Amino acid sequence: MTLSVFVNPELQFSATTFFAKQHKGETCGANGLPLTPNSIILFGKAQFLKTLKNPYLCEYLDIIRGKHERTIVVSQFCGKPLSEYLGKKIFSDSDIIKIAFQLLTALSVLHKNKIVHRNLSTESILVQNSGDIKLFNYGFHYMTNNGQLVSFPIIKLSYAAPEIYLSPLKSHIANSKMDIWSVGIILVELILNKSLWSSLKLSQKIRKILSFYQCGTSVFEKIAREHNCFDVYQNLSAELKHIIEQCLQIDPRSRPTCEDLLKNEIFKEFKVVQRNNPSKVCEKYQIFTLKELYHWWKLAGGDIILELKKQGLIRSSPPILSMPCLVMLDGTVLGQGRNPATLYESKIVQMSLDTLYQRFKHIHLNFCYPLLHCKSDIIAAFDPPHYDTKALPLIIKEKDPEYQFHRIILFRRLLHGYPYTRDMIRKEVEKDIPPLLRGEIWAALLDIQPDYEEIYAMIDKETVTTTDRQIEVDIPRCHQYNELLSSSEGHIKLRRILKAWVHQNTQYVYWQGLDSLTAPFLYLNFNDEAKAFACLSEFVPKYVHKFFLKDNSAVIKEYLAKFSQLIAYHDPELANHLCDINFYPELFAIPWFLTVFSHVFPLYKILHVWDNLLSGDSSFPLHIGLSVLTQLRSKLLTAGFNDCILLFSDLPEVDIEKSINYSNDTFKNTPRSITTREHQNEEYYKTTEYDISGVTLNDLTRERCPRISATDVVDMIRNTPEKILLVDIRNPLQYSRCSVRNSINIPCSSVTYGEHSIENLGQYAQILKNSGDKIVIVIGSTDTDLELFPKFLLNCNIKKVCVLHGGFNILISVTPTVLVSQKFEA
């Protein structure tokens, strides 16, 4: 038995499809770039509809773009159209008033959001089992930019207000009064209990409506007489009659607005009825909504396009039968007839949820209410066993409906409790992030404050500034393969966020790349610009602190120097090769780190990289950089300078999961201080006297091996002595006087540096050669050369070589001491 929480008559959806208008010939936009395809403009525009939630509105779920400008709209669809009840059911006055009230309420929500239905009819009003209504397909006219993006008319013949017919050319102006007329017609139909002008032909219907312009009397009366229902008209209650008469005013100016109508006395009783909500603080918590159900349905094999094909809504005649005959140089296409399959058809296809029900059949109700806080093992033991997917790759886990069910249920709960559940969210994120909730989870990871919307609203995003030109150039080049980001709506939003950021961060300037950095946030929070901005504002100080200074060269150089050192630390062979051919990170890695790879990878890869980044710190990008190099390692090792330049000019495809796993590994296994920078944001790093500080950029770029802090060294001496190899390079006298426990002594003056052979080290050569994954910490003092010796080790391809910052002396003050004296031991 499938749980009743899934099988809910309101949790149903359907799809409609149509073609956006094709651009004719060769046309360019004002900026000289090719025009955005209409289906993409529409795609961006329609996103807003997903945010509308009201008990009397069907929820929009998804917009899908097919080939050749096909657009598919997925929306909640439940209950039966009102048109099917006409003539079959007697509507009492109170029924009609209730429908009118709900309809007007729904419309007033739309009108407040500057949406005009314009396509209203009894077919787009769905009657629920409860008798309530839901308005369907109300965003059609809105998403097509008031009809401009499609070639067919978006109106319902008998219901359209007469002024709509007056202006086929001006049809992209939509006045909310048009809907009021349609409400009037719908009410008339309900009262007469029949659909109007049903026997008339197309042109007759249009003529009929236009003829109202020449009729002096009441439209309602005229309609009633024409349909032989004058008696019904006469017997109708005065209030209802008055409302209808008002709606059916031929002049839109005289028609009231929804608000006006709702003030009417007869709706009074409905206004008192509030939805019962036990909590006064927040909305009632739902364990999941239709949006989640749709997501699981898709994962469980639901395929909208396939379903539409099955129902015959996507018909395709073979393309070879409709080839054009001639194409002129200017792009004019001749001899290609209109494919009848591309005409508009208003059919609605209801999606079957059976496969999902089947897939979720065995899910226990307990799973819908996961235990979050549990201190009792006994109770925890009653929790049903977890759905095991540990061994599966991330891509598979993201596609597994059942796994995603558990994750989404859990994360929705946790997000509901944010910010109090912040730590639990962080902990869960280490496993993975369910794609559906990524935007919210990221916001939680970035500690977005609840007042983010207000802050954003206060920022001026309009006033012209000097960076506008650059922003304008960059936006149409930013991740344009993505439908959201390439839509006009996406461009507007991206521009506003960037301008807001520049306005808000006067200490910084707009560097190219900031657009790419913003893209993932905008993509995830397309309908919440303020949140995207808030994420960006939190992200920058945390991960790319000071990168956007007007003069960022010191910051970037330091970062790149650290990158070189990290390569040397983990992969001396590669580092030596790159050094030999003079191929420095400056030549390729600046965009990597400036944009945290958002300029390098496609969005779907960035999302996975950043999933991990957000639980790491600002050194994580270095590790990703290293992992990318590691993937190209074999190529790089055999390549010369020119080949390398070529290779990086257009980075080859990178296996991102491999890369992430690798960088997680190196991130975990690299002592923090190896990647510590002077320019990192102090706010996120607490420093003590034992940490690294005061290293000049010159020193840093000269040193090929990284420094390690006393904090890390002492920590490892105490906790993981088996993982380190301490090499004391002071002279034997100093060494014997006092040295670190278990360190070996190779006086740096005893080594011949001429050739890169580890054997030169004499008795300790073997130990270093077999150091394997041990961290080789070179300890010197002010009088020893702290560059030559580590460099020598590096040149001998010894892994994980680092130098203790501050030299031996810094360890003297450490208590309890880690030092021993040879004399005592002797």
Subset of residues 168 to 197 that bind another protein, contact rule: CB under 8 A: 168, 170, 173, 175-177
Sign of the Cα torsion 682, 688, 691, 697 reads: positive
Pull the structure tokens for residue 137: 């397909």
Among 79-87, 278-286, 322-330, 616-624, the segment contacting another protein (CB under 8 A) = 322-330
Specify the DSSP element, H or E, that contains 708. strand 707-708
Q: Which is nearer to another protein, 177 or 562 (CB)?
A: 177
Among 85, 288, 344, 764, binds another protein (CB under 8 A): 344
Among 223-231, 479-487, 540-548, 696-704, the segment contacting another protein (CB under 8 A) = 479-487
Instruction: Give the residues across from 34 on adjacent strands.
Output: 28
Q: Which of residues 397-416 bind another protein (CB under 8 A)?
A: none
Expressed in angstroms, the distance from the first to the final Cα of the chain is 78
Q: Which is nearer to another protein, 278 or 335 (CB)?
A: 335
The edge-to-edge listing of strands for the beta sheet with 133-135 is: 80-81, 125-127, 133-135
Instruction: Give the residues across from 72 on adjacent strands.
Output: 17, 64
B/e letters for 409-437, b = 16+ CB within 10 Å, e = fewer, are bbbbbbeeebeebeebbeebbeebbbbbb
Cβ 11 vs Cβ 134: under 8 Å: no
Closest distance between another protein and the C-beta of residue 619, in Å?
Answer: 24
Among 372, 457, 637, 645, binds another protein (CB under 8 A): 457
Torsion of CA 406, 411, 417, 421, to 10 degrees: 110
Q: Which of residues 591-610 bind another protein (CB under 8 A)?
A: 599-603
Among 461, 730, 799, 805, binds another protein (CB under 8 A): 461
Backbone angles phi, psi at 333, to 5 degrees: -105, 125
Q: Which is nearer to another protein, 159 or 601 (CB)?
A: 601
Cα 92 to chain center, whole Å? Answer: 48
Instruction: Give the residues across from 337 on adjacent strands.
Output: none
Q: Which is nearer to another protein, 411 or 456 (CB)?
A: 456
Query: What would the x/- binding string for another protein be over residues 262 to 301, using CB under 8 A?
Result: ----------------------------------------
Closest distance between another protein and the C-beta of residue 157, in Å?
Answer: 8
* Residues binding another protein: number (CB under 8 A): 81
Closest distance between another protein and the C-beta of residue 694, in Å?
Answer: 40
Closest distance between another protein and the C-beta of residue 805, in Å?
Answer: 38
Backbone angles phi, psi at 394, to 5 degrees: -55, -45
Closest distance between another protein and the C-beta of residue 251, in Å?
Answer: 7
Q: Which is nearer to another protein, 19 or 56 (CB)?
A: 19
Query: What would the x/- binding string for another protein be over residues 488 to 507, using CB under 8 A?
Result: ----x---------------
Cβ 79 vs Cβ 15: under 8 Å: no
Closest distance between another protein and the C-beta of residue 707, in Å?
Answer: 35
* 34 is an interface residue for another protein by CB under 8 A: yes
Q: At what angle do helices 438-445 and 422-429 cross, to 10 degrees?
A: 120
Instruction: Give the residues across from 15 on adjacent strands.
Output: 74, 349
Pull the structure tokens for residue 509: 């300037």
Q: Which amino acid is at 478?
A: C
Q: Which of residues 106-135 bind another protein (CB under 8 A)?
A: 114
Q: Which of residues 48-107 bind another protein (CB under 8 A)?
A: 65, 67-69
Q: Which of residues 542-581 bind another protein (CB under 8 A)?
A: none
Pull the structure tokens for residue 198: 């049903």
Among 272, 323, 391, 733, binds another protein (CB under 8 A): 323
**Residue 706: count of CB within 10 angstroms of its CB:** 26
**Residue 758: count of CB within 10 angstroms of its CB:** 16
Among 129, 198, 316, 742, binds another protein (CB under 8 A): 316
Cα(754)–Cα(750) distance, rounded to whole angstroms? Answer: 12
Radius of gyration, CA atoms only, the chain: 34
Q: Which is nearer to another protein, 239 or 345 (CB)?
A: 345
Q: Which is nearer to another protein, 166 or 379 (CB)?
A: 166
Closest distance between another protein and the C-beta of residue 177, in Å?
Answer: 7
Q: Which is nearer to another protein, 211 or 809 (CB)?
A: 211
Cα(288)–Cα(368) distance, rounded to whole angstroms? Answer: 9
Closest distance between another protein and the C-beta of residue 457, in Å?
Answer: 5
Pull the structure tokens for residue 77: 């669809």
Among 89, 207, 361, 737, binds another protein (CB under 8 A): 207
Cα(125)–Cα(133) distance, rounded to whole angstroms? Answer: 6
Among 182-190, 376-384, 454-462, 659-667, the segment contacting another protein (CB under 8 A) = 454-462
Cα(766)–Cα(563) distance, rounded to whole angstroms? Answer: 29
Given its phi and psi angles, is residue 488 left (phi above 0), alpha (psi -120 to 50 degrees) or beta? alpha
Per DSSP, the three-state class of 775 is strand
Among 1, 273, 281, 321, binds another protein (CB under 8 A): 321
Among 122-130, 217-225, 300-308, 332-340, the segment contacting another protein (CB under 8 A) = 332-340
Cα(319)–Cα(323) distance, rounded to whole angstroms? Answer: 7
Among 32, 278, 340, 385, binds another protein (CB under 8 A): 340
Please work out, in degrees rounded to the nearest 5, the angle formed at the alpha carbon of residue 232 by the alpha carbons of 230 and 234: 70
Q: Which residue has the tokens 């149903």?
A: 12
Backbone angles phi, psi at 784, to 5 degrees: -95, 155
* 217 is an interface residue for another protein by CB under 8 A: no
Given its phi and psi angles, is residue 581 left (phi above 0), alpha (psi -120 to 50 degrees) or beta? alpha
* 335 is an interface residue for another protein by CB under 8 A: yes
Cα(29)–Cα(391) distance, rounded to whole angstroms? Answer: 50
Nearest one of 96, 49, 350 to 236, comparing CA atoms: 96
Q: Which is nearer to another protein, 162 or 439 (CB)?
A: 162
Among 198-206, 290-298, 378-386, 403-411, the segment contacting another protein (CB under 8 A) = 198-206
Closest distance between another protein and the C-beta of residue 318, in Å?
Answer: 4
Closest distance between another protein and the C-beta of residue 149, in Å?
Answer: 13
Closest distance between another protein and the C-beta of residue 162, in Å?
Answer: 8
Cα(412)–Cα(775) distance, rounded to whole angstroms? Answer: 42
Nearest one of 193, 180, 258, 257 to 219, comparing CA atoms: 180
Among 5, 459, 587, 820, binds another protein (CB under 8 A): 459
Nearest one of 517, 526, 509, 522 to 470, comparing CA atoms: 509
Among 85, 152, 288, 418, binds another protein (CB under 8 A): 152
Among 37, 147, 184, 585, binds another protein (CB under 8 A): 37
Closest distance between another protein and the C-beta of residue 492, in Å?
Answer: 8
Q: Which of residues 644-703 bind another protein (CB under 8 A)?
A: 650, 652-653
Closest distance between another protein and the C-beta of residue 581, in Å?
Answer: 20
Q: Which is nearer to another protein, 78 or 660 (CB)?
A: 660
* 151 is an interface residue for another protein by CB under 8 A: yes
Among 127-135, 338-346, 619-627, 745-753, the segment contacting another protein (CB under 8 A) = 338-346
Q: Which of residues 244-263 bind another protein (CB under 8 A)?
A: 251-253
Torsion of CA 175, 176, 178, 180, to 10 degrees: -160
Among 1-9, 158-166, 612-620, 727-735, the segment contacting another protein (CB under 8 A) = 158-166
Among 235-243, 320-328, 660-668, 714-722, the segment contacting another protein (CB under 8 A) = 320-328
